[in-house]
Amino acid sequence: MERTLSIIKPDAVAKNVVGQILSRFEAAGLTIAAMKKIQLSQADAEAFYAIHADRPFFKDLVSFMISGPVVVTVLEGENAMATNRELMGATNPAEAASGTIRADFADSIDANAVHGSDSVENAKIEIDFFFAQREIN
């Protein structure tokens, strides 16, 4: 069974739409294998998004990700990564298909409600960043 990581970002947590987003994962056949609500530190956010450290948006991304709590989830199912990416929609909510999480809940390309792993390989790295193996069922 494939696993992927989802982060419900501070903007969506603040809007109180976490339950609606989780319901979409489950309705699409994904199982929540692990979940926790956390407040990222600056060091956590910088480490998690280190691949973007040289990009002009890095500081804003880190600031946004530490602006409030996030809900980190391990999703499991057949083609979990691709299913999650389809549910999320385009990174820019203005370009996201109607009915996707970002079209329905995101405000901007920065405050875009959710993060999802972009490959099966990165999913494992991202899951290991947030969860010990014993936390995943």
**CB under 8 Å to 62, separation ≥6 — which residues?**
42, 45, 46, 49
Amino acid (1-letter code) at residue 119: S
Distance CA 33, CA 46 (A): 25
Point out the catalytic residue in the list 115, 116, 123, 130: 115
Can 52 be counted among the known catalytic residues?
no
From residue 28, how far is each of 33, 52, 81, 103 by CA, in Å?
Answer: 15, 30, 12, 17
Q: Which residues are catalytic?
A: 115
